[in-house]
A = this chain, B = another copy of it.
Amino acid sequence: MEHKLALIGCGTVGQGLLQILHDKKAYLRDAFGFEARVVAISDKLKGSLLVPEGIDIPALLEVLAQGKTLAAYPKALPGQAEPLDPLDMLERTDAGIVAEMTYTDIKTGEPATSYIKKALRLGKHVVTSNKGPAALHYREICELARQNGLQFRIEGTVMSGTPVFHLAEAGLAGNAVLEVKGILNGTTNFILSKMETEGMDYGPALALAQKLGYAEADPTADVEGFDALAKVVILSNVLLGGALKTTDVPCKGISSITKADVEAAKAQGFRYKLIGHARIDNGVVSASVSPQKLPLSDPLAGVMGAQNALSLQTDLMGKITIQGAGAGKIETGFSILSDILAVHRC
């Protein structure tokens, strides 16, 4: 079956998705009977492109690799580049699935939330890697999707393509999730790992993370725990049935952790990790983000470097832990594909 896709946002994640769709075209068709035709793209910085016949992915990726906008898409190919807002693009395309991949605004969830609602109202399934709408408006968006008989899927919002929500939805279906506890931010885990294994202090470890591209020039969202906070709120509301807001969750980052703290913990047989934690207790969901000293026997203690991991405490299966990448162009691009494939299966 062929699916028509529209992409909102064509930065790293969007280009990762396009790369996979191109590289795995034959495999996806043969293994799953899945074919994708990318018919529309709208990106705030790069412009828009409408190609009902299907975008030529290698030609587009080459244009983007040269740092050009969508207006530079070859004129000899079918299609039309024009300056369309994503909201207008949605009205002009008959795509059945919209992949929303713009940047997270954790204060408002906008403009992504408006894009998503419009797409659902127009009868299009939505998949997204954007934490804003999922952390701030999950229930409302799900209800809108349900009313329209559509799917709203968010695998990439937590741990990129490491399949947390697919795991809970398929493999663990039938379990009640009682508690989740995870290393949800790779940057801080990289910094804490360097502080322990190489005896670095916080400042130099952060500088190294910035040099290697793990941390932004302004590292606040990572090191103060706000990125992990958004993910904990999403996990709470999706897996534990909560209705938490980001302001309900106490949040402490790692910027006050010193080399001496890390070494003292190590001497006691513990290891500092920035832990996102949520639990349900007598029907009440609570959550937190904070640096914690874990015993080395905890499955999360062994997770080093930029990796992410999540332990789910369940009623039937006890504790299940999944570890994998938490970021990356191809990894997050894959999260979008995995949600599109889930739409395809239904």
Interface residues of A (CB under 8 A from B): 20, 24, 27-28, 32, 155, 161-163, 166-167, 169-176, 296-297, 299, 301-304, 316-325, 330-331, 334, 337-338, 341-342
Contacts of A323 in B (CB 8 A): 299, 320-323
Distance between A248 CB and nearest chain B CB, rounded to angstroms: 25
Complex Cα distance, B101 from A234, in Å, reads 38
How many copies of this chain sit in the oligomeric assembly? 2
Q: Is the CB of B174 within 8 A of A163?
A: no
A-B contact pairs, 17 of them (CB 8 A): A27-B176, A155-B171, A161-B317, A162-B317, A163-B171, A163-B172, A163-B320, A166-B167, A169-B170, A170-B171, A171-B171, A173-B341, A174-B341, A296-B302, A299-B323, A320-B323, A321-B322
A174 touches B317 (CB 8 A): no
Q: What residues of B have a CB within 8 angstroms of the CB of A163 in the complex? A: 167, 170-172, 320
Q: Which residue of chain B lies nearest to A312 when distances are taken between CB atoms in the complex? A: B324
A274 nearest CB across to chain B (Å): 18
Residues on B with C-beta less than 8 A from A170 are 163, 166-167, 169-171, 342
CB of A316 within 8 A of CB of B174, answer no
In the complex, which residues of chain B have a beta carbon less than 8 angstroms from the beta carbon of A20?
174, 316
A59 to chain B, nearest CB (A): 23
Flag if B321 contacts A334 (CB, 8 Å).
no
Closest B residue to A305 by CB, please name it.
Answer: B297
Asked if B325 and A322 make an inter-chain contact with CB atoms under 8 angstroms apart, the answer reads: no
Give the docked Cα–Cα distance between A174 and B342 (Å): 11
By beta carbon, the residue of chain B nearest A304 is B297
- Leading 4 A-B pairs by shortest Cβ distance: A163-B171, A166-B171, A302-B302, A170-B170
A24 contact set on B, CB distance < 8 A: 174
A324 with B316, Cβ < 8 A, contacts A20-B174, A170-B170, A338-B173 known: no
CA gap between A342 and B20 in the complex, in Å: 27
> Are A28 and B320 closer than 8 Å at their CB atoms?
no
Specify which chain B residues have a CB less than 8 angstroms from the CB of A297 in the assembled complex: 302, 304
Closest Cβ of chain B to A332, distance in Å, is 10
Q: Which of B167, B317, B321 contacts A331 (CB 8 A)?
A: B317
Q: Which residues of B contact A338 (CB under 8 A)?
A: 171-174
Q: Which residues of B contact A32 (CB under 8 A)?
A: 173-174
Contacts of A155 in B (CB 8 A): 171
Q: Is B167 touching A171 in the complex (CB atoms < 8 A)?
A: yes
Q: Which residue of B lies closest to A162 (CB)?
A: B320
**Chain B nearest Cβ from A225, distance in angstroms:** 24
Question: Are A317 and B325 in contact (CB-based, < 8 A)?
Answer: yes
Tell me, rounded to whole Å, the shortest Cβ–Cβ distance linking A52 to chain B: 25
A67 CB to nearest B CB, Å: 25
Report chain B residues within 8 Å CB of A334.
Answer: 174-175, 316-317
A321 CA to B172 CA, complexed, in Å: 16
Q: Is B324 a contact partner of A317 (Cβ separation < 8 A)? A: yes
Q: Do residues A316 and B175 form an inter-chain contact, with CB atoms below 8 A? A: no
Assuming the contacts A297-B304, A338-B171, asked whether A324 and B331 have C-beta atoms less than 8 A apart, the reply is no
Q: A169 — which chain B residues lie within 8 A by C-beta?
A: 170
Contacts of A27 in B (CB 8 A): 174, 176
| Cα of A54 to Cα of B319 in the assembled complex, Å | 33
